[in-house]
Amino acid sequence: MEQLMADLKRQIIEALNLKHLTPAEIGDDQPLFGEGLGLDSIDALELIVLLQQQYKVKIENPQDGPKIFRSVRTIAEFITAHKPA
Amino acid sequence: MVRGQQVYVAGVGVISAIGHTAGETLHALQQGTSGIGRLTLFPSAYQDTLPVGEVSLSNEALTERLDLRAHAVPPRTALLGMVAARQAVDQAGIALAAWRCGLISATTVGGMDRTESFFPAFLEDPGAGHLRDLVHHACGNVTELMAEDLGIHNFISTINTACSSSVNAIMYGTRLIAQGMLDVVVAGGADALTKFTLNGFNSLKILDSAPCRPFDAGRNGLNLGEGAGYVVLVSERVRQQLQRPLLATVAGFGNTNDAYHQTASSPEGRGSYAAMTGALTMAGLPVEAIDYINLHGTGTVNNDLSESTAIQRLFGEHVPAVSSTKAFTGHTLGASGGIEAVFSVLALTEQCIFPNLRFEQAMPETGIVPQRTFARAAVRHVMSNSFGFGGNCSSIIFSTSPARA
Amino acid sequence: MAFITATASIRAQTLTRNGTIQYRDASPALPEFLQQAYTALKIDYPKFYKMDTLSKLGFLATEALLADSPLAGYPPEAVSLVLSNAHASLDTDMQYLAASRTQPSPALFVYTLPNIVAGELSIRHGWKGENAFFITPAFDAAQVAGYVALILAQPGAQACVAGWVDVMGGHHDVFLYLAENTRRGLALAHTAEQLKTLYTGLWNS
């Protein structure tokens, strides 16, 4: 889980062009949207693409986004639970 | 009133999924015949899952209809534009060569269809592909092809402000005539369906896998469409020479930026509110005077909530008959404002209000119930809304031509 | 009568304000140059990193344009934007097409419209006035000056950021100016001739 979260932070910075941040500046449980990292709806769509490309995990309903993308930890948990064997 | 002299609409032309002429279009609107169906224009992974509003003519059929002799086939956007613009000019019955004439055209995809046929081979091998396919990619080339077709040389301009482009083209044309700079302007927009936009909008997760349901509580996205819509705008001097009642007047318009997000509208619809307010102020009309609003009404959760919130706030107790005709045509992007301007003028000349197909339940936030059936009604002032990515919000009001009223 | 109160340009990896160089480094490729200029201007706006090249060019030129002539005193509705270019969003369209061979990027797709730069500027500065984006083969001083004059003649209008912002591959050409109903700054007459002189003069400086 720790490794997965570290990977995710790197990948999120890369995919979402958060060049003002380093992985260490993103907390495991820090909210990614709204007051936290300030991500928006387009970022959420990019995260869907990221999960599909990097982890072969599909999110069919974008409405599930906010729950899954709450923090790096919730994303890691979702990947772990849904990753194809 | 628009600053300067009065500007009239002398002709309209339209082609979309529900008809190749204004007459066919009106018939479909009257019968409630939707143009949303299966994608056949090009191969796509979404052929069976994402319905669209296609114009039921191939590029070959369009070329034949236009009797084009050019050796290179123009992009589909230009073909659609030529069909609609020629109709508008024919209806106006004006000898363009006798006047200071302009063409102001809007498009968002331009010659993208040609580029798409170029790209796959090119990516495999930079030496492959026909470079002439790329020549017409730029949005401006479509306008130039159309201008040549219409024989307009004095003034040519291309506008791209996403899905509000066409209304901005009509606004610009109106201003040029009102200020006495031109006598006749053909204004509107055209956009063809492309893989580019289909895949792109799909990546934004705002395409409905079923025919769209604008303003419905259960709406689940938009359907892409294609087509073109143009109006012929004329000055008072041209009107006097024509000596017959014209179709409508341009009463007012407003354009603002929502300044909220690249693609999403602010929840309270502050940009659309300001655009509608601006249009009413310019027209010198109270909210009660508007008889019908042709909504932007794409069918996305975000747009329809934002737009209906703004309408409710602005019109209060006086919300007029409203409907989104995108349930018929799909969202034709840069062409939508032109197509819907034509629909708005038809509402005035035919004294009718078009239905909002597939509506079942009002969204709980505003409770606005759109027009559900085709209805004959006294229509003097029609408002047409067009909002685009980049926060661009436009609203325009057409009124009954004085001689006609 | 409106006035040209400030200008900004980005050409040949050189950012200028009122004809004076603000930042220049001809050695790196355009993306790196834009990144360095952003750092040099000491701007804190992380959204910059997410923008496409067209928006970055418009953003940096506008930052330079407003450095001495802030528009914060005007109501949001009083400030309009009239932009134009030759290549629309073609530069980003091509990147999007190339990237779409694997999976289309929604963030990239958003930028496949030229007027997104107008949206970015409106968000950054809170402007809610009119927006227009024209596609013309070359900078058309008469058309831009004419449209800006129409907008500034409207009741309530005070200022308009206008001009040319074009990019295709490494080729970039940005010329923005601030037109205001109040005489200040450069205080040049807002005419097509004046604009033409300013635009072509840049090439010779």
Predicted confidence band of residue B122 (pLDDT cuts 50, 70, 90): low
Q: What is the mean pLDDT of residues B318-330?
A: 98
Strands B227-234 and B352-353: unpaired
Does residue B373 carry a pLDDT above 90?
yes
Nearest alpha carbon to residue B87 among B23, B171, B164, B27: B23
pLDDT per position as a tens digit, C148-201 = 999 999 999 999 999 999 999 889 999 999 999 999 999 999 999 999 999 998
Strands B292-294 and B381-388: parallel
Q: Which of B65-69, B107-111, B114-118, B141-145 has the lowest mean pLDDT?
A: B114-118
Q: Note if B139 is an active site residue.
A: no
Classify domain A2-82 at the CATH topology level. Answer: 1.10.1200
Average pLDDT score, chain B:
93
Residues of chain A neighbouring B203 (CB-CB closer than 8 A)? 45, 49
Residue type at A13? I
At residue B405, the pLDDT reads 44
At residue B120, the pLDDT reads 65
Q: Which domains does chain B have, with CATH numbers?
A: 8-400 (3.40.47.10)
pLDDT per position as a tens digit, B31-86 = 999 999 999 999 999 999 999 999 999 999 999 999 997 667 789 999 999 999 99
C11 close to C203: Cβ distance less than 8 angstroms: yes
Mutate to test the interface with C, among B157, B201, B203, B257 (most CBs of C within 10 A): B257
pLDDT per position as a tens digit, B336-372 = 999 999 999 999 999 999 999 999 999 999 999 999 9
Q: Is the ipTM of this complex over 0.95?
A: no
Instruction: Provide the β-strand partners of residue C80.
Output: C160
What does the alpha-carbon distance between residue B158 and residue B143 come to, in Å, rounded to a whole number? 6
B252 close to B245: Cβ distance less than 8 angstroms: no
At residue B139, the pLDDT reads 61
What does the alpha-carbon distance between residue C12 and residue B21 come to, in Å, rounded to a whole number? 49
Q: Note if B296 is an active site residue.
A: yes
Q: Which of A65-74, B291-300, B382-391, C189-198 has the lowest mean pLDDT?
A: A65-74
What b/e readout covers B254-288, taking b as 16+ CB neighbours within 10 angstroms? bbbbbbbbbbbbbeebbbbbbbbbbbbebbebebe
Predicted confidence band of residue B121 (pLDDT cuts 50, 70, 90): low
**Residue C104 DSSP SS3:** coil
Residues of chain A neighbouring B262 (CB-CB closer than 8 A)? 42
**Residue B48 DSSP SS3:** coil
Q: How far is B373 from chain C (nearest CA, A)?
A: 35
Torsion over CA: B89, B95, B97, B102 (sign) = negative
Nearest alpha carbon to residue B82 among B182, B14, B17, B136: B14
Which tokens go with B291?
């008889």
Task: State the DSSP H helix or E strand holding residue B175, giving kind and residue range, or none if neither.
Answer: helix B165-178
At residue C97, the pLDDT reads 85
Residue-by-residue pLDDT tens, chain C, 205 positions = 899 999 999 999 999 999 999 999 988 999 999 999 999 999 999 999 999 999 999 999 999 999 988 898 999 999 999 999 999 999 999 899 888 777 889 999 999 999 999 999 999 999 999 999 999 999 999 999 999 999 999 999 999 999 999 999 889 999 999 999 999 999 999 999 999 999 998 655 5
Q: What is the mean pLDDT of residues B158-178?
A: 95
Judged by a CB distance cut-off of 8 A, whether residue C43 touches chain A is no
Q: Strand ranges (DSSP E) for B192-270?
A: 227-234, 248-257
Residue carrying the six token digits 């200029």: C37
- pTM for the predicted model, two decimal places: 0.94
Number of Cβ within a 10 Å radius of residue C173: 22
- Spans of all domains in chain C: 3-204
Catalytic residue chosen out of the listed positions B136, B331, B381, B393: B331
What does the alpha-carbon distance between residue B21 and residue B229 come to, in Å, rounded to a whole number? 10
B262 close to C118: Cβ distance less than 8 angstroms: no
At residue B113, the pLDDT reads 80
Classify domain C3-204 at the CATH topology level. Answer: Peroxisomal Thiolase; Chain A, domain 1 (3.40.47)
At residue B108, the pLDDT reads 92
Judged by a CB distance cut-off of 8 A, whether residue B77 touches chain C is no
